[in-house]
Structure 1
């Protein structure tokens, strides 16, 4: 055959080896993980103390929009306000519209021709609530207000219940 031999050292004296070679200096250390240098708790090492948990601010007691009431203060995007002596106010800026839907009018006209019961379709009402409820808190010389979207006619009562709870926490 006229094809060349792919092995450049056919005698096999060990001067040439096929494939990757082993490093002469030993295996390198594994690459560091995320957050290098990793000086934390390794669960595989015996005798290492478990690190203490971060001290948090406690659990939120009530959250109204972007205002969160904690046991130590009121957290807002503009900073933390003192809880004691806070003044709370809520304003309802929503409205509920009630109208007869278009399909009820069409059905009333169609069924009026067959019988007078078609007029009962005019009793169908569609209620739609739009707008916002503004919640304001003033404490420690600072003021913050937020808008909570009204999802139904009873949204203001729900927000006022949360505001009443926040007021009771502020008076303690």
Structure 2
């Protein structure tokens, strides 16, 4: 095995997927990322708000208004070889993960072109 992208294992001649094997030579690879940014109340603010109710009445409940952005997403890696296609969906939490997946797929693309 040369590279592993999600559940796909790539050797010098084949792409092993859970549904079968595809030839690496001539395969086409596509990466699409889907991001969702949410604003959530952090855990520390929830704990501090409920612990502070005893000391400051309802004033500590203002801590529940504290929000922080949280990015969530998936990256779909699609490999197509002839009539066969496989899509791997990878959950990512950081943008650096997307960069790493793109680098892996670019390397596999270079192997497929040989």
User: RMSD in angstroms over aligned alpha carbons?
Assistant: 2.6
In 2, Cα distance between equivalents of 1:95 and 1:161: 22
Q: Deviations over 1:27-48 (max 9, x none)?
A: xxxxxxxxxxxxxxxxxxxxxx
Aligned residue runs from structure 1 range 107-126, under 5 A: 126=68
| 1:89 and 2:38 are equivalent in the alignment | no
How far has the Cα of 1:100 moved from its partner? 6.6
Structure exhibiting the larger radius of gyration computed from Cα positions? 1
Please give the secondary structure, in 2, of the residue aligned with 1:159.
helix
Match of 1:131, SS state, is: strand
Deviation per CA, 1:40-72: give whole Å up to 9, x if none.
Answer: xxxxxxxxxxxxxxxxxxxx1111111111112
- Quick one: structure 1 residues 170 and 64, their matched pair in 2 at CA, closer, same or farther if it must change by over 3 Å? same
- Unaligned regions of 5+ residues in structure 2, if any? 50-65
Which SS does the other structure have where 1:103 is aligned? Answer: helix
Unmatched runs of 5 consecutive residues or more in structure 1: 1-59, 108-123
Answer yes or no: is 1:68 the counterpart of 2:9. yes
Q: State the partner residue of 2:87.
A: 145
Q: What TM-score do you get using the length of structure 1 for normalisation?
A: 0.49
The SS at the match of 2:95 is: coil
Asked if 1:133 corresponds to 2:81, the answer is: no
| Aligned equivalent of 1:168, options 91, 110, 113 | 110
Structure 1 segments of 4+ aligned residues over 3 angstroms from their partners? 96-102, 124-127
Give the whole-Å Cα distance in 1 for the aligned partners of 2:77 and 2:36: 16
Aligned residues: 98
SS at 1:135's partner residue? Answer: strand
TM-score with structure 2 length normalisation? 0.71
Q: CA deviation at 1:154?
A: 2.0
Q: Which has the higher strand share?
A: 2
Q: Greater share of helix residues, 1 or 2?
A: 2
